[in-house]
Amino acid sequence: MLDNIDRLVDLTIPADDRLRAAVARCDTAALAATGGHFAAVARDGRTVRLARTIGVPLRYFVAKMYHGPFLVVSPRIDRIFDWCQEQRIGWQFDPIYTRMVPAHHLVELDQVGCPDPAPRYQRFFDPVIGQGSTDLAEAGDVYVRAAYVATMQWLSELPAGEPVAVAFSGGIDSTAVLLMARRALQALGRNPGDVRAFTLDFGGGQDARQAEGVVRALGVEDSWERIVARPEEYDLEEAIRVTEDYHPLDVECAAASLCLLRGIHARYPSIGYLLDGDGGDENLKSYPLEDSDLTLSSVLRNPLLYQEGWGVDSIKHSAVYSGGLSRGYVRTYAPAAACAFNAFSPFTLRSVIAAAVALPLEPVLDGRIDRLYTLKQDVVSAGIRSVLGIDMPLNPKRRFQDGTLAAPRPRVTKAWCRNVFNRLWEERLRDTPDALDRRSGNEVPIVAS
């Protein structure tokens, strides 16, 4: 193995020096004390350390070059492959060899090679579980106040007068985000009208009717628009390419997001910032259990299940993807990035997640699944009333992609999505260098004397 060669290839947007220094010295306490979202990479001798939060994806791949492993790090799989192609080692690459850094963990990898050691994981987010109030009005105040502070902080860092789009369905989470953003701008001495809500409609969609009713009830209809798209613009294969994933519900959500964001961009090219309510369902467990193999017991016994999946030490944990929203947030991040938006949801921040998991679910639910299904509306509406003094309209939960049409589309299967994912990569991998042009991992670079 050659010494004095930097074998870390960092294709990310560099984090600030403070974060990188904390990652380099494996300082989980310093990372825990940070706010906002980040992804950071640093090297300490032969050890590379990586860390991220939910809002920024981070991946790595071990390439074999110069008699030693090169660690290539990027938010996307295809960017790693492009780098391998540039180095004429695309023949080494397979998307299943990449790894996603799990959110809320610091990952350590030693670059010693033959074989490469397994990564080590250390948590830097360890919220107190179930020690908050069982009174839903008090719990709602804590939860929404944390989300409101997060929203204000994010907006305060934008230039004054910068327009902001809200992906708006008129559901509980997007309505809360719209209300918090308007009030936060007002508190900052800015114009609440800088926030504009947009609803996707493929024709006769339930969300469009619902959203119009909500903005009229709130008296903000002048800050709302319907984005009408053709049904054929809903492209699941493109969503798989953009998200680099094959989880059906996330793929469907991303396909709808691409239609909405392109419609906003076409109408308002100057808008580059996006707010949405992603993560609100995960925080307050607002998913029908009959759509999965989960039970109420598994949800209660794994407080961060929806945010992180089964965990890094679980048999169910994927080596290629992390779990929960740590994996699924690409449904928001990737379409936004593809459409030149900087996306943010206050419900994905650690401070807001901590406020959610502080709610003692077992005594609150008392074993009743029906109580779980009304939990989010009770907590969020109570919080909005307490923090903002507004009685928000409440509408039934509906998946984003389902509310865009008069009737939901048939669900696609995971097998279909996986087949598309594999086919797209098979097509790309055909372009790797042939045997006469490819570079060997045993090649030693010529160093000028």
Q: Judge whether 448 lies within some domain.
A: no
Q: Which of 110, 68, 98 is nearest to 441 (CA)?
A: 68
Q: Which helix (H) or strand (E) holds 89?
A: none
Residue 436 lies in a domain: no
Cα–Cα distance measured from residue 123 to residue 141, given in angstroms and rounded to the nearest whole number: 28
Statement to judge: residues 65 and 113 lie in one domain:
yes
Residue 175 sits in the same domain as residue 63: no
Task: Compute CA 201 distance to the chain's CA centroid, rounded to the nearest angstrom.
Answer: 23
Predicted TM-score (pTM) of the model is: 0.94
Confidence class for position 396, pLDDT limits 50, 70, 90? confident
Ranking 51-55, 233-237, 318-322, 430-434 by mean pLDDT, the lowest is: 430-434
Q: Do 308 and 369 fall into the same domain? A: yes
Backbone φ, ψ for residue 442 (5° rounding): -90, 0
Q: What is the pLDDT of residue 392?
A: 96
289 band by pLDDT with thresholds 50, 70 and 90:
confident
Binned at pLDDT 50, 70 and 90, residue 270 comes out as: very high
pLDDT in tens, 358-374: 999 999 999 888 899 99
For the segment 191-206, what is each residue's pLDDT rounded down to a tens digit?
999 999 999 999 888 8
**What does the mean pLDDT of the chain come to?**
92
Question: Helices (H), strands (E): how many in the chain?
Answer: 17, 13
245 and 151 within one domain: yes
Same domain flag for 91 and 198: no
Q: Is residue 434 part of a domain?
A: no
Query: Of 84, 102, 125, which marks where a domain is finished?
Result: 125
Is 180 found in the same domain as 111?
no
Domain end among 71, 102, 125: 125
* pLDDT confidence of residue 410: 84
pLDDT over threshold 80, residue 258: yes
Residue 185 CA to residue 342 CA, distance in Å, equals 18
- Select from 280, 266, 270, 258 the least CA-distant residue to 332: 258
Within a domain: residue 15? yes
Q: Are residues 170 and 233 in the same domain?
A: yes
Asked which of 69-78, 183-192, 237-246, 293-302 is least confident by mean pLDDT, the reply is 293-302
109 and 189 assigned to the same domain:
no
Tally the domains of the chain: 2
142 & 111 share domain: no
Task: Verify that 52 and 159 share a domain, yes or no.
Answer: no
CATH classification of the domain holding 171 = 3.40.50.620
Mean pLDDT within 106-131: 92
Residue 130 belongs to some domain of the structure: no
8 Å CB contact between 195 and 185: yes
Residue 210 has pLDDT above 70, yes or no: yes
Asked if residue 428 belongs to a domain, the reply is no
CA dist., res. 383 & res. 390, Å (int): 9
When computed from its CA atoms, the radius of gyration of the chain, rounded to whole angstroms, is 23
| Domain enclosing residue 19, as ranges | 8-125
40: phi then psi, degrees, rounded to nearest 5: -140, 145
CB atoms within 10 A of CB 363: 9
Please tell me whether residues 146 and 68 are part of one structural domain: no
Domain-located, residue 244: yes
Is residue 449 included in any domain, yes or no? Answer: no
State residue 3's pLDDT score: 56
Lowest mean pLDDT among 185-199, 308-322, 365-379, 384-398: 308-322
d(CA 10, CA 41) in angstroms, rounded, equals 7
Residues 90 and 204 in one domain: no
Out of 109-123, 346-360, 390-404, least confident range: 390-404
